[in-house]
Amino acid sequence: MTECSQASFEFAAHFCRSVVADFDGGALTSDGGAVLLRQTEHRIHLLPRLAACFTDFRSQERIEHGVEQMLAQRVYGLALGYEDLNDHDQLRRDPLMNLLAGKREPESALASKSTLCRLERTTATATPAERYKKIRYDNEAIDRLLVNLFLESQSDAPEKIIIDLDATDTPLHGRQEGRFFHGYYDHYCYLPLYIFCGDQLLCARLREANQDASAGSLEEIRRIVAQIRERWSKVRIVLRADSGFCREELMRWCEDHQVDYVFGLARNERLRQLSSKAMRKAAAESKRTGKPARVFTGFGYRTRKSWSRRRRVVAKAERIEGKENPRYVVTSLSAAEWKPRELYEQLYCARGEMENRIKEQMSLFAGRMSAETMRANQLRLYLSAMAYVLVEAFRRLALTGTEMARAQVQTIRLRLLKIGARIRFSVRRVLVSMSSGYAWQGLFAHAWAAMRC
């Protein structure tokens, strides 16, 4: 990078005053609001437990940057909008990042991009004999931590929870391990699996794209349900997903383990015939009113080969813009508990909110899959997931009851975290002096008070 030797910079005058800029403002940061995230992290104890999922083979008396400090750099960096390891060559001198990472001395530089890169590139079989890449992560421990964080967020065991599953694409632009072309998305990509309960993330699993959208979902659900029932033995669990997850093995497992489900079901000619009466009613209603119309019905259905039993199907027979628009879902929930219209409109369609949660992962750079190996890219996915867990906890704990209670990650970042501030370290305190012109001071005060409770 070109070094700057200019001491000051003169710009167009403001009436009779000259306008001059320089870089002698002292220890300044553009991320003053991150102290709120730091308070949130102390509340949920995220980073120490995440660091415990790593094995560090380095000689501890000879290292400068601990695992927890490096993870803090990455997680806070992603939450604050710094997507790449390259950013950390500048951030390592940022006074607030020094505070967030837990460095004792304010002049201490943080880990460079090269050190952070070695954190990502350690193999699963690394031993103390490795020369450079000596920090190995345990994916099973991180998976369990995500579920534990969800369980701890509930003060009492709920009667029922709904678990959403979905897959998305992560485009690839290089020759990464596990790179395949996906016909539906029309590019080379990974196909990560996400599992949420409400706004809270339970699983982020990186997968190759040359397989079914539901691949591996049964194994993840087995693990998550077992862990949830260790804590909440009587909780009722409902799985919800689109037709990509409507597979015999997953439905049969749910039925055998007292887990309910509602899955989208791909249309076919037999389903059209079974819902034809409802479709005629919808067409007649649309013709009468001149508006789109929908009629709901339910019936028992079994495929000729793939299903082991007869199951309840709910059909939405809809006439819209002069054409048919049928939709189907299969469910283990009874007609006495959920009537067809309510099951489709209130329960199944609510899964669309999960798509917003996946978009938030992208706002935290979960799509930055430029590392060479699947394992390194899985760690990047985990780090983005932990940044989401941190911001989601802040939203849930500090912003409830405010106009930002349902704000997405990017809005929270811009309004509450990106605050210009001067950082001053003394013997007894760290003083973060934020801009007096900051527009959301009342909201900041509310969030601070909520985090103090």
Q: Note every long-range contact of 7-15, with CB atoms under 8 Å and residues 24 or more positions apart, other chains counting.
A: none
Listed by start position, the domains of the chain span 8-139+364-452, 153-362
3-state secondary structure (DSSP) of residue 219: helix
Q: How far is residue 254's CA from residue 239's CA, in Å, rounded to a whole number?
A: 9
What pLDDT score was predicted for residue 145? 98
Q: Which two tokens stand for residue 443?
A: 């909201």
What pLDDT score was predicted for residue 3? 64
Q: Which two tokens stand for residue 367?
A: 């799509």
The two most distant CA atoms of the chain are separated, in Å, by 85
What pLDDT score was predicted for residue 77? 97
**Average pLDDT for 73-87:** 95
State the virtual CA torsion across 370, 376, 381, 383 in degrees, nearest 10.
-110
3-state secondary structure (DSSP) of residue 91: helix
pLDDT tens per residue across span 272-299: 999 999 999 999 999 999 999 999 999 9
Give me the phi and psi of 366, to 5 degrees please.
Answer: -65, -15
Give me the phi and psi of 161, to 5 degrees please.
Answer: -130, 150
Kind plus residue range of the DSSP H or E element containing 81? none
Q: How far is residue 242's CA from residue 327's CA, in Å, rounded to a whole number?
A: 11
What pLDDT score was predicted for residue 208? 97
pLDDT tens per residue across span 128-168: 888 888 999 999 999 999 999 999 999 899 999 999 999 99
Q: Does 313 have pLDDT greater than 90?
A: yes
The structure's pTM equals 0.94
Check: CB of residue 395 under 8 Å from CB of residue 43: no
Q: Does 1 have pLDDT greater than 60?
A: no
Check: CB of residue 266 under 8 Å from CB of residue 326: no
What pLDDT score was predicted for residue 2? 58
Q: Which two tokens stand for residue 162?
A: 């709904």
Q: Which amino acid is at 415?
A: R
Q: What secondary structure letter does DSSP report for 243?
A: G
Q: How far is CA 78 from CA 103, 280, 380, 413, 450, in A?
A: 19, 52, 10, 10, 24
Q: How far is residue 261's CA from residue 253's CA, in Å, rounded to a whole number?
A: 10
Q: How far is CA 412 from CA 4, 330, 397, in A?
A: 33, 37, 13
Q: How far is residue 317's CA from residue 228's CA, in Å, rounded to a whole number?
A: 37
CA end-to-end distance (rounded Å), the chain: 46
Q: How far is residue 250's CA from residue 261's CA, in Å, rounded to a whole number?
A: 9
**Average pLDDT for 297-323:** 95
pLDDT tens per residue across span 198-256: 999 999 999 999 999 999 999 999 999 999 999 999 999 999 999 999 999 999 999 99
DSSP string, 31-71: -TTHHHHHHHHHHHTHHHHHHTTEEE-S-GGG-SS-HHHHH
Contacting residues for 430 by C-beta, under 8 A, at least 6 apart: 99, 106, 423, 424
Q: How far is residue 251's CA from residue 30's CA, in Å, rounded to a whole number?
A: 50
What pLDDT score was predicted for residue 6? 78
Q: How far is residue 33's CA from residue 417's CA, in Å, rounded to a whole number?
A: 4
Residues in a beta bridge with 313: 299, 330
From 15-24, 160-169, 259-268, 440-449, the region with the lowest mean pLDDT: 15-24
Q: How far is residue 331's CA from residue 238's CA, in Å, rounded to a whole number?
A: 10
Provide, rounded to the nearest whole percent, the portion of the chain with pLDDT above 90.
87
What pLDDT score was predicted for residue 260? 98
**Average pLDDT for 52-59:** 94
Q: How far is residue 92's CA from residue 95's CA, in Å, rounded to a whole number?
A: 8
What pLDDT score was predicted for residue 209? 96
For strand 17-22 and strand 200-205, is the pairing parallel, antiparallel, or unpaired? Answer: unpaired
* Torsional sign, CA 166, 169, 170, 174: positive
Q: Whole-number mean pLDDT of the chain?
A: 94
DSSP string, 341-375: HHIIIIIIGGGGHHHHHHHHHHHTTTT---SSSHH
Q: How far is CA 215 from CA 45, 83, 204, 336, 385, in A?
A: 32, 29, 13, 33, 20
